[in-house]
Amino acid sequence: MVRRGTFIVFEGCDRGGKTTQCKKLVEALNKKNIPAEYMNFPDRTTAVGKIINDYLKKNIELPDHAVHLLFSANRWELEPVIRKKLHSGVSLVVDRYSYSGVAFSAAKENMDLQWCWNQEEGLPAPDAVFILNLSESASLQRGGFGEERYELTDFQAKVRSNYKLLKDPKIWKDIDADRDVESVHNEILKLFEEVHSQAVSQPIKTLKN
Ligand code: TMP
């Protein structure tokens, strides 16, 4: 019987090094002959993802609820792919997932956190969420924000406090992202190995209310 892959999600505010760490983890796992692939949300290459990209680049305006549903639909578009890969034994290292979806949308005025979460219910649940915590001071040292929507200090502060509301202690692993890339990577690799040894023999769980 093929042992299923492990599903890891990376979350955290911008500039914490999520993408760098995701890619380093995939590379390290493949070197150890553990099949693993990188995925990221939003996936801007799909039909829905193209609209999201236009929204993030500020080419179009959309109501907040509609945008939330698009981000969620983007995950639902790839839900069969996620399940198929995990069942075939490939571990997935996913750069942002439902937690970003809820933390960012609920940081807007008049957006209810529970309503946001409801759209995620039924998606495959990760075996672990690695949250890269970057302090305000380290964040300032890493240079300015880009030009995309949401890249604003006050907005990111709200996102940070929303993440705390979503924290599930059973699967959430806090990681100090103020350190150098290699130290963070070594901790992540150790954490992955712990999670992987348990996950492969368990069924894939789903996100619940
Ligand atoms: P990226 O910089 O990782 O490509 O993400 C693009 C932006 O989209 C980032 O500011 C976080 C935000 N976002 C949401 O608002 N909802 C979501 O569901 C996801 C995955 C990202």
pTM for the complete prediction?
A: 0.96
Question: Does any domain span residue 74?
Answer: yes
User: Position of tokens 């705390």?
Assistant: 164
Query: Which whole number is the average pLDDT over 188-205?
Result: 96
Report the alpha-carbon distance of residue 200 to residue 80 in Å, rounded. 19
Q: How many angstroms separate the Cα of 91 from the Cα of each of 59, 171, 185?
A: 35, 16, 17
The angle formed by the CA atoms of residues 70, 94 and 206, to the nearest 5 degrees, is 70
Tell me what pLDDT residue 100 has: 97
A 10 A CB-CB count for 46 gives 14
The ipTM estimated for the assembled molecules is 0.99
C-beta of residue 106 within 8 angstroms of C-beta of residue 162: yes
pLDDT on residue 20: 97
Q: What atom in ligand 1 is closest to the CA of residue 98?
A: 18
Residue whose Cα lies nearest atom 18 of ligand 1: it is 101
| Assigned domain for 1 exists | no
At residue 206, φ and ψ (nearest 5 deg) are: -120, 155
The string of pLDDT tens digits covering residues 101-124 is: 999 999 999 999 999 999 999 999
Within 8 A by CB and 6+ apart from 135, the residues are 178
Q: What is the average pLDDT across 173-195?
A: 97
Question: How many CA atoms lie within 13 Å of 22's alpha carbon, on the beta-carbon side?
Answer: 25
Task: Report residue 163's pLDDT band, with 50, 70 and 90 as the boundaries.
Answer: very high
How far away, in angstroms, is 17 Cα from ligand 1 center?
14
Q: Per-residue pLDDT tens for 129-158?
A: 999 998 878 887 887 778 889 988 889 889
Atom of ligand 1 nearest to the CA of 40: 3
d(CA 121, CA 106): 16
Does 2 fall in a domain?
Answer: no
Task: Determine contact, residues 38/82, Cβ cutoff 8 Å.
Answer: no
Q: Which of 132, 68, 149 is nearest to 95 (CA)?
A: 132
> How much is the pLDDT for 152?
84
Output the pLDDT for position 203: 96
pLDDT tens digits, one per residue of 7-36: 999 999 888 899 999 999 999 999 999 999
Quote the DSSP letter at residue 124: B
Pocket-forming residues, ligand 1, beta carbon under 6 Å = 41-42, 56, 71, 96, 100-101, 104, 150
- Is 155 inside a domain boundary? yes
Q: Where does the pLDDT of residue 209 fall: very low under 50, low under 70, confident under 90, or very high at 90 and above?
A: confident
- The residues pairing with 8 across neighbouring beta strands, listed in sequence order, are 93, 128
Residue 36 sits at φ, ψ, to 5 deg, of -150, 145
- What is the total count of domains within the chain? 1
Cα 61 to chain centroid, rounded: 24
Q: Which domain holds residue 201?
A: 7-207
pLDDT score for 123: 98
The helix/strand/coil state of 134 is coil
CATH of the domain at 53: 3.40.50.300
Asked if the structure places residue 124 within a domain, the reply is yes
Report the first-to-last Cα separation within the chain, whole angstroms: 32
Q: pLDDT at residue 198 above 80? A: yes
Q: How far does the centroid of ligand 1 lie from the alpha carbon of residue 159, in Å?
A: 11
**pLDDT 10s digits, 32-91:** 999 999 999 999 999 999 999 999 999 999 999 999 999 999 999 999 999 999 999 999
